[in-house]
Amino acid sequence: MSPNKHSESAEWAIQEIARLSGATSRTLRHYDAIGLLAPKRTASNGYRMYGPEQLVRLQRILMLKDLGLTLPDIARVLDEETDEVRALTKHAQWLASEEKRIARQRAAVHATIRALQEGQDMNAKDAFDGFDHTQYKDEVEERWGKDAYASSNARYSKMTRQEQQDMMTEGLEIAKGFARAKLGGLAADSDEVQALVQRQVAWLGHTVQPVSPQYVGNLAEMYVGDDRFRTYYDDALAAEGTSAPGTAELIRDAVQVWASR
């Protein structure tokens, strides 16, 4: 039976839900153990069985997880927003907005690549189309609170346009450094990679104070869990005609080493 059929009597075993959703059976059992997603019932053979209501909840869990939220934060969001249609509608609107923004970013990056390859002058305004940091306002407030966004935005807004561009350029250079380290097979605890972490922490300090190990660690987890950041870091060398899959994971691992020290 397909999950597209939403009759109340429809049920799917944990193995099928795992196959369709990409979440492992172990993960689903963990969600049950912590009270995040209980099955509809447990069959006589011990299999956990899921119905349409559980499928909708799992969909929301996976979407929130993709945004980088921790499991406790996901539980809180689900408890606070019980109107599933409204929640999913808001998420669909956000996805549509992200699709447009990413298309603008892609066009900006391709324009920069062409300018570099052909030796043309770059248009600074066009180069940063789609990269406006204020688009993350709601997301930052959701993850770290309104004070975190207000403080970061205040620092960023006080910068001159040149300072903002210099900051973004430095961020890209750091990303390129991590990508080259990944291609070079450098370990997360190597001196070269740890030096890049130090640069990343200093770079974050332009808009965030204090830059705590917990903050950097959470951010590094988001680099891996959020496709936008993963793509940014893995494709940091796109202008050089190459990519370095796994760069986001290298950054996360390197930050964990840095924080442990």
Q: Give the pLDDT confidence score for residue 148 in this predicted structure.
A: 46
210 preceded by a cis bond (ω within 30 of 0)? yes
Q: Which residues are CB-neighbours of 179 under 8 A, at least 6 positions away?
A: 233, 234, 236, 237, 243, 244, 247
Instruction: Give the per-residue pLDDT at 245.
Output: 93
Bridge partner residues of 49 (DSSP): 13, 41
> In the chain, what is the straight-line distance between the N-terminal and C-terminal CA atoms, in Å?
52
**Amino acid 130: pLDDT:** 52
Q: Which of 150, 149, 151, 109 is nearest to 130 (CA)?
A: 109
Cα–Cα nearest to 63, from 39, 93, 34: 93
Q: What is the pLDDT of residue 3?
A: 44
pLDDT recorded at residue 28: 94
The rounded distance, in Å, linking the Cα atoms of 220 and 209 is: 17
Residue 42 phi, psi dihedral angles, 5° rounding: -115, 125
Q: CA 230, CA 233: separation in Å to the nearest integer? A: 5
Q: How far apart are CA 146 and CA 80, in angstroms?
A: 17
| % the chain with pLDDT above 70 | 72
Q: Residue with structure tokens 């019980």?
A: 82
Q: What is the pLDDT of residue 231?
A: 85
Q: Which of 85, 16, 90 has the alpha carbon at shortest distance from 51?
A: 16
Taking the C-alpha atoms of residue 25 and residue 13, their distance in angstroms, rounded to an integer, is 10
Which residues of the chain, if any, have pLDDT below 50? 1-6, 133-137, 140-141, 143-145, 148-149
Per-residue CA distances from 162 to 68, 232, 250 (Å): 31, 22, 30
Write phi, then psi, for 68 (nearest 5 degrees): 95, 5
- Cβ neighbours for 39, distance < 8 A, ≥ 6 positions apart: 14, 32, 48, 49, 50, 54
